[in-house]
Amino acid sequence: MKKILVTGSNGYIGNALVLALLNRKKEFTVRAAARRGSILNSKSFETVRLGSLEESPDYVEAFKGCDVLIHCASRGSMRGHEGWLDEAALHRINVLGTVHMAREAHRAGISRFIFLSSLQVNGPETPAGKRFYADSLPRPKSPIGKALLEAEKELIRVGEETGMEIVIVRPPLIYGPDCQNLFGEVKIMVDYCLPLPLRSCKRNHRSLVGIDNLVDFLICCATHPDAANETFLVSDGEDLSTLNIFKLLAKTHHRPCLLWPFPPILVRLFNSYIGRQAWEEFFFQSQVADIHKAQLVLGWTPPLSVEQSFRRSWDENFYLGSHTSSK
């Protein structure tokens, strides 16, 4: 039976991962680690409190006895608990902090370190008809993407020096119940039946990953022997245009899809004027991840379809860990 340690366990991904692992008690024991806030229901599993990634504390005692560490605590956005982060802070948290944690994991006897990175490492967009591959040359443009790429390189170096297995996972935009990101903003638009000038946004394609599919893949990476020292892209396996995202969200929430045609150039100018670069990218650009490597190397397929994941994302009472992960 493997003992898996999950960092960032009071975050959106870490929370769901811990709950999913608890549903497989015959296969795993769980140790949940977090820096602040409450850590789920601590009566059900071991919990440890970690110091800040920026302070390089001693983690050995907290990590001892675990076989695999799944690191979900790195910073995936420019915004922190106390405001916007500069590039120096992103480097301290995502690079220096992550590398220190990996070295402490090795000292504690952990054999596999799984790093949750981001598709932003590959780049902000894919040209029409193209896609990102796990082994594509990374071309990050955002400060976060650059910091995560540097963290990946340093982790690989740690693995080569210590013999600890390093697994890197790059997801695209993650969504699910109560997600607090761009997808959550789109859900609000659909929920309130807002009429939007986006019917012409049908030529782009975007990969997404539902929280259940992502958690299932992370568990697969924790157990599959062939995941060692590999980099993987993960998604739902079906890429959607902006128009189809809105249509499917409306369908799964029993709402009308009130999109009307409007010249895309004017929408883009409006987004630029109000400073919503994230909307500009999501509505008009493509970002497609190829997951064939995950399918071929690990034999993994997304357990939930896109429509199933979209439908679950509307369920406010949905228990994130209730889906039994694929074996």
**pLDDT one-digit tens code per residue, 148-188:** 999 999 999 999 999 999 999 999 999 999 999 999 999 99
Residue 144 forms part of a structural domain:
yes
Distance CA 29, CA 281 (A): 40
Residue 70 forms part of a structural domain:
yes
- Residue 14: which domain range? 2-177+207-237+287-304
Amino acid at 212: D
What proportion of the chain, given as a percentage, has pLDDT over 70? 90
- Counting the structural domains of the chain, the total is 1
Residue 292 forms part of a structural domain:
yes
Tell me, what's the pLDDT at 165? 98
Handedness of CA 264, 270, 273, 275 (dihedral sign): negative
Residue 259 forms part of a structural domain:
no
Residue 9 forms part of a structural domain:
yes
2-11, 82-91, 155-164, 237-246: least confidently modelled range:
82-91
Tell me, what's the pLDDT at 76? 55
pTM above 0.75, yes or no: yes
Angle at 177 between CA 322 and CA 311, to 5 degrees: 85
Distance CA 103, CA 113 (A): 10
Tell me, what's the pLDDT at 323? 41
Residue 94 forms part of a structural domain:
yes
Residue 49 forms part of a structural domain:
yes
Residue 251 forms part of a structural domain:
no
Angle at 271 between CA 265 and CA 277, to 5 degrees: 115
Q: Identify the CATH number of the domain in which residue 130 sits.
A: 3.40.50.720
